[in-house]
């Protein structure tokens, strides 16, 4: 009998670009296809997605893409996956609605979108996939119970255990317990909040906090920045808008798109008279308005960031605004968020954020919730997923505290392939994996010359050295021209540039350039320029050498 193989193409040892592949015989299924956002080490890069060359090599085996929920780190790379692979996509109405928006933007059609509900079972070759409802910060989140010839695999997706969620998305602990009682070979469980003690706060607490705040904010305008995908939170705000007789204006492209989609499919319930266009807010008094905006993470082009920078003509902030940041910082975004908060204070706004009030609840399970999950599932083997290495390591330690043996746990890495049977869990090799950078319409990798050049430009600037060379003698015939950007400060520029011209001229004058081809000649100029600038400034700007051939007079 063959064994089940599981390959990790993203979402382990990192936050984002989640993708896991299960393979048995001639059948393969994919769980999630998410993206990550670029960090400061990737200047100019828009998005990061998985290297899917392994999937392309095996595309005839792929029986489906199964979506746990509709967050960007789980669905954002779907259009790029579909550039190379045609496969049905299974997910909840909300997940597919968000994917559909992405496919429209990418101008992709004829995609097989298969809507499922909790309890749905999809047969995909050797795999039988059951969708199990869980609670998360977006409706329609599902865990997957996957029956294979090698046993049952449970993949939690992102989840929390919230006994008082907004709406009907209660985590189906009863079904998870039934699956665990029948026997689970392998558990793949998210690890994002494993370091946090106790239980996560219920989303309903956020609603109560909003209610208390709205009751106090009688005559001021309310602006709330939150994740567009947190439809449950949007519903709570809408319900309170009705209670306090305020109109709602959505702003920010993703906020408008998600709210429109959620209203269309009935996931967001509101009277259409409640919603007004952002262009018409001047027709209402401040006490009649709630503006729901993107920008809770300080994104540079988001609506809230532009408001705080006085660069958003539709909304001008003042002392009569109360701004609520209903989110927690994603690691790496703290500086951007703090900049926005400081700018809001400069506008004399009242600012309320997570440190000041319970205006955000995490969608990820804390330690005690993870303990409940492990106790219900009772897996023979365990692989922690969805988290940086420290999260995976701490989740491993938690499983050991609950009685699991070290040999039954593997901490995965991107590109790792493990083999699972009813008796054995082992690493069996690696598959092609990594990251692909999306830069406008271009694609590349982290090791490309483009990224190295951008980092060099950002650190030391650039100098263009234009050298006149005699067409006949092939020798330098005059001082080079030097243009610098981002390299030397104005007060020292004139002197250093003048000295550089003389030094480069003398260096090249003493060399026999006659037998050098174009590339060798430009390399010689770069070397002479680099040596001078480093000696005199201790900096290494990017040198672009240009040879201009001139006729002798």
Do 487 and 543 fall within a single domain? yes
Give kind and range of the element (H or E) at residue 265: none
Residue 404 lies in a domain: yes
Kindly give, in sequence order, each residue whose CB lies less than 8 Å from that of residue 342, ignoring residues fewer than 6 positions away: none
Quote the pLDDT of residue 405.
Answer: 96
Residue among 62, 101, 97, 95 nearest 81 (CA): 62
For residue 136, is pLDDT > 80?
yes
Do 345 and 392 fall within a single domain? no
Comparison of pLDDT for 179 and 272, the residue scoring more: 179
Give the chain's domain count.
Answer: 3
CA neighbours within 13 Å on the CB side: how many for 11?
32
Quote the pLDDT of residue 114.
Answer: 97
Quote the pLDDT of residue 444.
Answer: 57
Lowest mean pLDDT among 32-46, 70-84, 129-143, 282-296: 32-46
CA–CA dist 492, 515 (Å, integer): 36
Do 334 and 371 fall within a single domain? no
Beta-bridge mates of residue 62: 28
CA–CA dist 375, 390 (Å, integer): 22
Do 220 and 194 fall within a single domain? no
CATH of the domain at 254: 3.40.50.10710
Q: Using one digit for the tens of pLDDT, what is the confidence trace for 320-356?
A: 999 999 998 877 778 889 999 999 999 999 999 988 8
The domain boundary residue, chosen from 322, 352, 382:
352
Domain assignment of residue 37, given as a range:
4-198+362-444
The overall average pLDDT reported for the chain is 91
Rounded to an integer, the average pLDDT of 514-543 is: 88
Comparison of pLDDT for 136 and 39, the residue scoring more: 136
Quote the pLDDT of residue 1.
Answer: 59
For residue 9, is pLDDT > 60?
yes
CA–CA dist 131, 68 (Å, integer): 8
For residue 40, is pLDDT > 70?
no
Comparison of pLDDT for 441 and 51, the residue scoring more: 51
Do 437 and 465 fall within a single domain? no
Residue 395 lies in a domain: yes
Do 388 and 340 fall within a single domain? no
CATH of the domain at 479: 3.10.20.580
Lowest mean pLDDT among 115-129, 163-177, 296-310, 491-505: 491-505
Do 31 and 169 fall within a single domain? yes
pTM, whole model, 2 decimals?
Answer: 0.85
Q: Using one digit for the tens of pLDDT, what is the confidence trace for 87-118?
A: 999 999 999 999 999 999 888 988 999 999 99
Quote the pLDDT of residue 441.
Answer: 53
SS3 assignment, position 391: helix
Kindly give, in sequence order, each residue whose CB lies less than 8 Å from that of residue 501, ignoring residues fewer than 6 positions away: 479, 480, 481, 482
Residue 163 lies in a domain: yes
Region of 71 on the Ramachandran plot (φ > 0 left; ψ -120 to 50 alpha; else beta): beta
The domain boundary residue, chosen from 411, 444, 477:
444
Quote the pLDDT of residue 442.
Answer: 55
Quote the pLDDT of residue 446.
Answer: 56
Comparison of pLDDT for 515 and 78, the residue scoring more: 78
Do 213 and 141 fall within a single domain? no
Lowest mean pLDDT among 371-375, 422-426, 434-438: 434-438
The domain boundary residue, chosen from 352, 377, 406:
352
Residue 357 lies in a domain: no
CA–CA dist 171, 182 (Å, integer): 19
CATH of the domain at 402: 3.60.15.10
For residue 380, is pLDDT > 80?
yes
Do 53 and 163 fall within a single domain? yes
For residue 415, is pLDDT > 70?
yes
Residue 174 lies in a domain: yes
Please calculate the CA angle 209-249-359 and round it to the nearest 5 degrees.
20
For residue 453, is pLDDT > 80?
no
Quote the pLDDT of residue 301.
Answer: 85
Do 35 and 175 fall within a single domain? yes
Q: Using one digit for the tens of pLDDT, what is the confidence trace for 251-270?
A: 999 999 999 999 999 999 99
Q: Using one digit for the tens of pLDDT, what is the confidence trace for 219-257?
A: 999 999 999 999 999 999 999 999 999 999 999 999 999
Residue 455 lies in a domain: no
Quote the pLDDT of residue 449.
Answer: 63
User: For the chain, how many residues are written?
Assistant: 553
Comparison of pLDDT for 331 and 207, the residue scoring more: 207
CA–CA dist 466, 396 (Å, integer): 59
Rounded to an integer, the average pLDDT of 484-494 is: 80
Residue 191 lies in a domain: yes
SS3 assignment, position 90: strand
Do 145 and 238 fall within a single domain? no
For residue 31, is pLDDT > 70?
yes
Rounded to an integer, the average pLDDT of 471-488 is: 86
Residue 450 lies in a domain: no
Comparison of pLDDT for 31 and 444, the residue scoring more: 31
Do 62 and 162 fall within a single domain? yes
């Amino acid at each position: 009998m063959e064994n089940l193989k599981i390959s990790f193409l993203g979402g382990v040892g990192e936050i984002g670009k989640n993708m896991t592949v299960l393979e048995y015989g001639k059948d393969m299924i994919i769980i999630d296809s998410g993206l990550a956002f670029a960090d400061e080490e990737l200047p100019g890069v828009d998005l990061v997605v998985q290297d899917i060359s392994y999937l392309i090599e095996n595309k005839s085996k792929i029986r489906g893409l199964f979506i746990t929920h509709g967050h960007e780190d789980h669905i954002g790379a779907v259009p790029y996956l579909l550039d190379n692979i045609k496969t049905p996509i299974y997910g909840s109405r909300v997940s597919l609605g968000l994917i559909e928006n992405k496919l429209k933007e990418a101008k992709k059609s004829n995609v097989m979108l298969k809507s499922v509900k909790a309890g749905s079972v999809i047969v995909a070759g050797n795999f039988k996939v059951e969708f199990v409802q869980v609670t998360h910060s977006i409706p329609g989140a599902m865990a997957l119970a996957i029956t294979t010839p090698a046993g049952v695999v449970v993949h939690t997706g992102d989840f929390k255990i919230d006994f008082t969620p907004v709406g009907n998305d209660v985590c189906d602990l009863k079904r998870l317990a039934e699956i665990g009682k029948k026997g689970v070979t392998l558990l793949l469980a998210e690890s994002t909040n494993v370091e946090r003690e106790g239980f996560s706060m219920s989303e309903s607490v956020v609603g109560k906090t909003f209610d208390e705040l709205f009751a106090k904010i009688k005559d001021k305008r309310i602006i709330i920045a939150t994740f567009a995908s947190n439809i449950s939170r949007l519903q709570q705000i809408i319900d309170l808008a009705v209670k306090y007789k305020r109109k709602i204006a959505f702003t920010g492209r993703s906020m408008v798109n998600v709210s429109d989609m959620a209203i269309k499919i009935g996931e967001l319930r509101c009277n259409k008279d409640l919603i007004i266009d952002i262009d018409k807010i001047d027709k209402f008094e401040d006490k009649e308005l709630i503006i729901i905006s993107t920008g809770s993470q300080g994104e540079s082009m988001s609506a809230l960031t532009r408001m705080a920078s006085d660069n958003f003509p539709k909304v001008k902030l003042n002392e009569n605004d109360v701004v609520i940041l209903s989110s927690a910082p994603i690691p790496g975004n703290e500086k951007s968020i703090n900049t926005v908060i400081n700018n809001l204070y400069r506008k004399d706004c009242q600012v309320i954020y997570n440190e000041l009030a319970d205006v955000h609840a995490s969608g990820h399970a804390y330690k005690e919730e993870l303990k409940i999950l492990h106790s219900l599932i009772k897996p023979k083997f365990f692989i922690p997923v969805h988290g940086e290495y420290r999260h995976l390591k701490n989740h491993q330690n938690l499983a050991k505290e609950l009685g699991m043996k070290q040999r039954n746990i593997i901490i995965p890495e991107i590109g790792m392939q493990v083999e699972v049977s009813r008796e054995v869990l082992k690493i069996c090799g690696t598959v092609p994996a990594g990251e692909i950078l999306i830069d406008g319409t271009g694609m590349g990798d982290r090791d490309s010359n483009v990224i190295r050049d951008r980092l060099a430009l950002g650190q030391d600037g650039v100098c263009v050295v234009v050298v006149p060379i005699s067409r006949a003698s092939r020798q330098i015939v005059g001082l080079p021209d030097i243009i610098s950007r981002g390299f030397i400060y104005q007060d020292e520029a004139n002197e250093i540039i003048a000295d550089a011209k003389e030094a480069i001229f003398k260096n090249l004058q003493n060399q026999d350039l006659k037998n050098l081809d174009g590339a060798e000649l430009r390399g010689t100029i770069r070397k002479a320029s680099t040596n001078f600038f480093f000696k005199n400034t201790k900096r290494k700007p990017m040198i672009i050498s240009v040879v201009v051939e001139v006729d002798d007079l």
